[in-house]
Structure 1
C-alpha cells in the first residue's frame, strides 16, 4: 500500500505562498533568500527524497509550474523527477504538461484512496496547497515533511486551512539542513 507524503517548504508561520517570488505576492521570494550552504543541503535533502519516491501526486497548477521548469533541466535530481510517474488531480485538465503524467478526474478522495491501494511506496505531494487541504481533511496523509525557512511573513496562503476537527501529529524526525533550515517530519496520530 502506498503512503501519501506531503513535502513542503514553509515559513516559520506556515506560509507556502509564492516561495520563488514569481507569482507577484508582495512577500514572496523567501525561498531564494537563503545562503549557498543551505541551498546545497536542501537540494541534497530533496534529491534523497526523490530517489526514495514511487510517484508524485500534484494539483493542476503545480503540474503546470513544475512542467515549465523541470524538463529542460539535467542532472540526477532532474532525471529522477522527470522520469517518475505523476498523478495530477484535476477536474479541468485534459493534457498534463509534465512527462509520465496521468490525470485523476474523479472524486479526489476516492481517486487518491484507490491510488494508495494500487501503489507501493511513497507518493509525494509538492506544493498543491488545495490538494493538501483536501488530503488532510479526509485523513489521507501518512506523513508531513516540512522544511522550515527562517522567516516570518505575517501574511499569505498557509499550508494548513480550516479542518473539521483537530489533526494530532507525532514528531518522527528533526534535523538542521545547512545552517539555517529546519527539517521536521510528522505522522498523524490515528484514533487519538
Structure 2
C-alpha cells in the first residue's frame, strides 16, 4: 500500500500562508481561541502520520518562534522529519536535512512502509509536488482574514495545471472553513 502525502495547511481568504514579512503569527491571533480549540483535525492528522516534510523557512519558524513562544520541545521529535534546505543546520533528533529534490525524496518515501506523510510547507516544496502530482490529499483551512500581500499558498505552476481535485469533506468551525480535496487519478 502506498503512503499518502497530505498537504495540511491554513491560508487567508485571499490565499496567503504568510504575511508580507513571512510571519505566520496572524494564524494564532485569529478568532476566539475556544472555537479554534474545538478543531480536532490537527490531532486526527497526527494520528495518521509518522513523517513530516518541511521547507527550511517553515522549520525555522517552528524552532525559533513557536517553540520559544511556548517554551516547548520540538513538536515532531517522535516522527521522521525531512527539512529541505541548502543552508547548514544544527542537528536534531529525527531530523534529516536534505539539499536535494523533494520530488525524489517523496517518491522514495511513498513506497516505504509507514504511515502517511504530512507536507507542512512552504511553497518551495509544495509547488514541485503539485507539478509532479505527488500530493494525494489537500486539507486546507481558510481563515477569514485578508492579508493583501505575502506568500501565496499556490505559486505559479508550470506543469500539471488544470488538475481537477475531488471535494471529500467540508465543514465550518466558527467562521473558519475546512476543505479536504483528494487527487483524482487519471
Provide the TM-score with structure 1 as the length reference: 0.81
Mapped to 1, the partners of 2:18 and 2:59 lie a distance apart of 16
Correspondence 1:1-192 to 2 at 5 A: 1-18=2-19, 23=21, 29=26, 31-42=28-39, 44-68=40-64, 69-70=66-67, 72-73=71-72, 81-90=76-85, 92-95=86-89, 98-163=92-157, 164=159, 165-177=161-173, 179-191=174-186
Contact 1:63 1:97 in 2 (8 A): no
Q: How big is the shift at 1:98? A: 4.8
How many residues are aligned here?
180
1:10 offset after TM fit, Å? 0.6
User: Aligned pair in 2 of structure 1 residues 96, 125: CA closer, same or farther (>3 Å)?
Assistant: farther
Distance 1:105 1:7 in 2: 23
Q: Deviations over 1:149-180 (max 9, x none)?
A: 11233332211112222121100111122x11
Q: Tell me how large the CA RMSD over aligned residues is.
A: 2.5
What is the TM-score with the length of structure 2 in the denominator?
Answer: 0.83
Contact 1:57 1:86 in 2 (8 A): yes
Gaps of 5+ in 2: none
